[in-house]
Structure 1
C-alpha cells in the first residue's frame, strides 16, 4: 500500500464544539491506524496549543481533547498557524511541547505533496 498523509486544518474551537471534536477525532483515528497526520490549529482552535486549554474543552459523548492530541502527537505533528498565533499574542515559548508555529507556505507545501489528503473542519 502506498504511503499516505492526512493534513487536517481545524478552524473551530469551543465556538463550534462538534466540528472541533470531529477534526481531532478523525486525526487521532488516522494516526492510530498508521497514517501520517499533520493537524493545523487555526482560528479558535489556536487556543488548544496552550497548556491546559484542551482540558477545558467539553463535549458530551466525545473523547477528551488532551487524549486525542496525545494520540496525534505520538505519530504525527500539530502545527499552530503563524497569523492565528500572532492575533492571539501566542509565541513559541507559550505553546505545548511538540507544537510548532508555521505559516501558509508550509501548509500549502504539505497539502500539495503527493499522496496527501486534506480536510478542513
Structure 2
C-alpha cells in the first residue's frame, strides 16, 4: 500500500461527478489511514473559500463540506498558487487549514518514495 496518496482535482461545479469522485476518494483514503494530500486546481480552486463547498450539489453523493472537512482533519489540502492568483484568492481568504503552494511543492510530493497520485 502507498505511504501517501496525492490527488489533484481540476474539476468543480463544471464537472460535478469528477469533482465528487476526487473528494470521495480523498476522504475514504484518509478514513483508511492513508496519508492524503489533496490539491485544488482549476475550477476546484473555489472550494478553498469558506462556504463554497456548501454550494456544491450532486444527487446521491456525500456532501462536499463533509468530505473536505475530513481531509482537512487528517490530511492536507493545497490550493495551486497560479490558480489562486488567477481567481484573486489570497491565503487570508481560504478555509482554515488550506495552504497555497505551487508546482515545486506538488512535484516534490509526487516524486517521493511510496507515493501514488491521481488526477481528476
TM-score of the superposed pair, with normalisation by structure 2: 0.98
Q: How far apart, CA to CA, are the structure 2 residues paired with 1:94 and 1:50?
A: 6
Partner of 2:16: 17
Paired residues of 2:2 and 2:116 also in contact (CA < 8 A):
no
Task: Find the residue that maps to 2:6 and give its secondary structure.
Answer: strand
Moved over 2 A (4+): none
C-alpha RMSD of the superposition = 0.8
Give 5+ residue unaligned stretches, structure 1.
none
State the Cα distance separating 1:3 from its structure 2 match. 6.2
Q: How far apart, CA to CA, are the structure 2 residues paired with 1:67 and 1:14?
A: 16
Partner of 2:42: 43
Partner of 1:75: 74
2:108 equivalent to 1:113: no
- What do the CA deviations read for 1:20-41 (whole angstroms, capped 9, x no partner)? 0000000000000000000000
Q: How far apart, CA to CA, are the structure 1 residues paired with 2:39 and 2:60?
A: 24
Q: How far apart, CA to CA, are the structure 2 residues paired with 1:107 and 1:41?
A: 11
Question: Alignment length, in residue pairs?
Answer: 120
Give 5+ residue unaligned stretches, structure 2.
none
Of stretches 2-11 and 12-21 in structure 1, the one that deviates more from structure 2 is 2-11
TM-score of the superposed pair, with normalisation by structure 1: 0.98
Task: Find the residue that maps to 1:15 and give its secondary structure.
Answer: coil
Q: How far apart, CA to CA, are the structure 2 residues paired with 1:108 and 1:36?
A: 17
